[in-house]
A and B are shown apart, each in its own frame.
Chain A
C-alpha cells in the first residue's frame, strides 16, 4: 500500500468510526416514547378506525418535531383491534407490555373501550378515546380513562327530543346491532323517548345483515313514524335498503355510528334524508380545523372521517402533556401523564378541552345532522341542523344539588 493510500484509508477509517461513535452516542442520548392508537383497521368501522390512526400519525409528524429537538423522539404506533373486544384485549396486553408507550389513543368503539380500560388502568396507562360514547366508560371509577366526545345517554336524549319536537313523530321502531354500544345506546334512547312522550312500537336486536334485512316486513307492519338505528352502516345500510324496497315510509334516524361515509357507500339512495346524531361531526364544524383537513388530504389522499379531528386533538394533547412533563431528559412516567391529563386545560381544533374528575369533557358537542349527499367523498357536506354544547348528566345533577 502506498503512503498516500495508507493515509487515505486511515483518514476514512477515523471518519467512519467518528461518525459511528457520535451517531451511536447521539441516538443513545435520545429518549423514545410511543403513542399507541387502537382502532379497527379492518372489518367493521374500518374507515373511521383508519382515520383515527392516520390523524394521530399526522399529529406526531407535525407536532412531534419540537419535542424531538428537545431530545425526545415520539412515534405513533397503530394497533388493529378489528372493532371487537377479544381482539382489543389481545392488543391492549401487547400495548401495556411495551414500556415505551406513554398513552393510548382509542379505542374507537365502546365495546372495545369498556373491555380494555381495566388493562390500561392496571398498567397505569392513560387511555383517551376520541369516540367511545358508552356512559359506563367514565362511570366505573377508572382514573386513567378520558374521552374527547359526548356520551350516549345525552346523545340518545338529543335524538329523542329531535324526533318528538322537530320531526313531530309519535311512534318509533328501534333496531340495534346487539353490541354493548348498540344495545346500550338503544336502551338509553328507549328511556329518553318514553320521557319525551314517544311510543316504542318494537325494540329489536339484529347482529347480522341478514337479520337486519328480515326486519323490513315487520317494520312495515308496525308502520312507525320513525325508525331508530343504533349500529354501524354495515347494519343500517341493508336495513334501510330493504325497508324502502318493502315500502316502509318511516323517517330514518340513527346514532353516531352512522356518522361515516360508509353509510352512503353501502346504502346509496336509501340513506338520503336519514337523520343522525353525532358527537364529532364534519371537519367544517370546527373553523380552526380547516388546515388540518387540507394537511390530512394531502398526506393520506382522503378526506378525514368523523372523529379524525378528535383523534388529532387527542394526539396533540398527549404531545402537549409530554412537553410539559419532559424535564431534564427524563421521560415522564405513565402515572405522571395520567395526573397531568386530569389537570389539563387545552385548546384543540375542536375547541376547549378540560376533563371532569371522571374523564368526561366538561362540555361536549352534540349535533343533529341530515344525509344530503350522494357521494361518499362529500360526506362532510351533510347538513347540520342542530349544534348543542351539553355537560355530562352527572355534572349537571351535581350542579343542581
Chain B
C-alpha cells in the first residue's frame, strides 16, 4: 500500500472512531499512566464507560548503548465503577535493547480505586498488571502490583506517591526476582492558563540486576487541553544515578483521545 493510502486509512479509522463514540468528561487535569510523566500516575478513577487512547513518540539518549526512539501506545477503559482495565505496549527503534518494559511486550492491567479523599487521607488506587513476553528477545512474564496515593495539597495542587513491586517469573544472569519502584511528585493547574497542567516527579527504580546501582532520576512535563476530547502532552527527564547504561535524557510527546462508549 502506498503511503497516501496508509494515511487515508488511518484518517478514516480515526473519523469512524470519533463518530462511534461520544465525548467523555474532560480528564485533562489528571495524570494518566505515563502521561505526561513516564513514572507517575494519580489515584483518581475514570468513570465507568469512559476511556482514553494514549499514543505518542519518544526518544532516549543513552550513556552507553545506542540512542533510540520509542512509541508508547495505551488504551484504558472504565469497565465498572472505580475499576478500569488497560492494554498497552511500547515499540522501539532498537527492540533488542533490554528496556523496561521490553519493546513489543504486551501489558494488561486492572486498576481499582479505593476510597475517596478525606481531610486527612489521600485517595488510593491499586493496579495489578501482567506483562507478557511478546517482544523481541523477551523471556519472562512480569507481574506488577502498584499503589497510588493522591492528596490535594492546595488549590489546584495535587501530590502523588506511587509505589510498585514487580516479580519476574524467569530469571537470566543476575536478575532480581522482585524489585521496587517509587515515584513522588506533584501536578498543578496554572490559574491564568487553565488548559495547561504542569507536573514533576522524582523516581527511584531498584536495579534489575544484583550489584547494579539503583536508577534515580527526575522528570517534568506539561499536558495541554487542545479540545475536550484531545490533549497534548510533553515530558522530559534524566536518570541522574544508576547503571552505566542509563538515560542521560529522555523525552516523550503525544496525544490523548478521551471518549465514552455509547455516548453520554
Could you list which residues of chain A lie within 8 angstroms of chain B, going by C-beta atoms?
282-285, 287-288, 290-291, 293-295, 297, 303, 345-347, 349, 351-352, 363, 365, 367-368, 372-373, 377-378, 380-381, 383-389
At the interface, yes or no: B152 with Cβ under 8 Å from chain A? Answer: yes
Cβ contact of A389, chosen from B42, B82, B123, B191, cutoff 8 A: B191
Is B23 a contact partner of A294 (Cβ separation < 8 A)?
Answer: no
Is A291 a contact partner of B189 (Cβ separation < 8 A)?
Answer: no
Interface window among B43-51, B171-179, B201-209 = B43-51
Is A290 a contact partner of B119 (Cβ separation < 8 A)?
Answer: no
Is B264 a contact partner of A381 (Cβ separation < 8 A)?
Answer: no
Q: Which residue of B lies closest to A282 (CB)?
A: B26
Interface code B22-66, partner A: CB below 8 Å = 1, 0 otherwise? 010111111000000000001011111110000000000000000
Give B216 Cβ to nearest chain A Cβ, in Å: 29
Is A347 a contact partner of B50 (Cβ separation < 8 A)?
Answer: no
Cβ contact of A378, chosen from B29, B118, B155, B228, cutoff 8 A: B228
Residues of A within 8 A of B156 (CB): 387, 389
- Complex Cα distance A381/B27, Å? 11
At the interface, yes or no: B100 with Cβ under 8 Å from chain A? Answer: no
Residues of A within 8 A of B25 (CB): 282-284, 290, 293, 380
- Complex Cα distance A311/B48, Å? 22
Residues of A within 8 A of B228 (CB): 284, 372-373, 378, 380-381, 383
Is B45 a contact partner of A291 (Cβ separation < 8 A)?
Answer: yes
A-B contact pairs, 9 of them (CB 8 A): A284-B25, A290-B47, A291-B47, A294-B50, A345-B119, A347-B116, A351-B152, A381-B229, A386-B194
Could you list which residues of chain B lie within 8 angstroms of chain A, going by C-beta atoms?
23, 25-30, 42, 44-50, 78, 81-82, 116-119, 123, 152, 155-156, 158, 189, 191-195, 225, 227-229, 264
- Complex Cα distance A372/B82, Å? 30
- Complex Cα distance A385/B191, Å? 8
Is A290 a contact partner of B46 (Cβ separation < 8 A)?
Answer: yes
Residues of A within 8 A of B189 (CB): 387
Give A2 Cβ to nearest chain B Cβ, in Å: 56
Give B111 Cβ to nearest chain A Cβ, in Å: 13
- Complex Cα distance A349/B158, Å? 14
- Complex Cα distance A282/B225, Å? 14
- Nearest 6 A/B pairs, CB to CB: A389-B155, A381-B228, A284-B26, A294-B47, A387-B194, A290-B47
Residues of A within 8 A of B123 (CB): 288
Is B191 a contact partner of A387 (Cβ separation < 8 A)?
Answer: yes
Residues of B within 8 A of A287 (CB): 27, 29-30, 42, 44, 158
Give A102 Cβ to nearest chain B Cβ, in Å: 22
Classify the interface of chain A: helix, strand, loop or mixed: mixed
- Complex Cα distance A49/B82, Å? 28
Cβ contact of B116, chosen from A283, A288, A295, A303, cutoff 8 A: A288
Give B37 Cβ to nearest chain A Cβ, in Å: 16
Contact flag A288-B44 (CB < 8 Å), given A352-B119, A377-B264, A380-B25:
yes
Is B117 a contact partner of A384 (Cβ separation < 8 A)?
Answer: no
Is A294 a contact partner of B48 (Cβ separation < 8 A)?
Answer: yes
Contact flag A386-B27 (CB < 8 Å), given A290-B44, A291-B45, A347-B119:
no
Residues of A within 8 A of B155 (CB): 351, 363, 365, 389
Residues of A within 8 A of B158 (CB): 287
Residues of A within 8 A of B118 (CB): 347
- Complex Cα distance A137/B44, Å? 34
- Complex Cα distance A372/B227, Å? 9
- Complex Cα distance A291/B82, Å? 7
Residues of A within 8 A of B119 (CB): 345-347, 352
Residues of A within 8 A of B49 (CB): 294
Contact flag A386-B191 (CB < 8 Å), given A287-B29, A290-B45, A380-B25:
yes
Contact flag A347-B29 (CB < 8 Å), given A303-B264, A363-B155, A389-B155:
no
Give B230 Cβ to nearest chain A Cβ, in Å: 11
- Complex Cα distance A97/B189, Å? 46
Is A347 a contact partner of B48 (Cβ separation < 8 A)?
Answer: no
- Complex Cα distance A363/B155, Å? 8
Give B113 Cβ to nearest chain A Cβ, in Å: 8
Is A297 a contact partner of B27 (Cβ separation < 8 A)?
Answer: no
Cβ contact of A290, chosen from B23, B50, B225, cutoff 8 A: B50
Q: Which residue of B lies closest to A390 (CB)?
A: B155
- Complex Cα distance A295/B25, Å? 13
Q: Which residue of B lies closest to A385 (CB)?
A: B194
Give A164 Cβ to nearest chain B Cβ, in Å: 14
Give B21 Cβ to nearest chain A Cβ, in Å: 14
Is B152 a contact partner of A352 (Cβ separation < 8 A)?
Answer: yes
Contact flag A293-B47 (CB < 8 Å), given A282-B26, A345-B119, A347-B117:
yes
Is B50 a contact partner of A288 (Cβ separation < 8 A)?
Answer: no
- Complex Cα distance A297/B26, Å? 15
Give B187 Cβ to nearest chain A Cβ, in Å: 10
Is A380 a contact partner of B81 (Cβ separation < 8 A)?
Answer: no
Q: Which residue of A lies closest to B28 (CB)?
A: A284
Q: Which residue of B lies closest to A380 (CB)?
A: B25
- Complex Cα distance A287/B152, Å? 11
- Complex Cα distance A386/B118, Å? 26
Is B81 a contact partner of A383 (Cβ separation < 8 A)?
Answer: no
Instruction: Kindly name the residue among B26, B118, B156, B227 whose own CB sees the greatest number of chain A CB atoms within 10 A.
Output: B26
Known A288-B123, A294-B78, A351-B155; further 5 A-B contacts with Cβ < 8 A? A284-B228, A290-B27, A294-B81, A347-B117, A387-B156
Q: Which residue of B lies closest to A381 (CB)?
A: B228
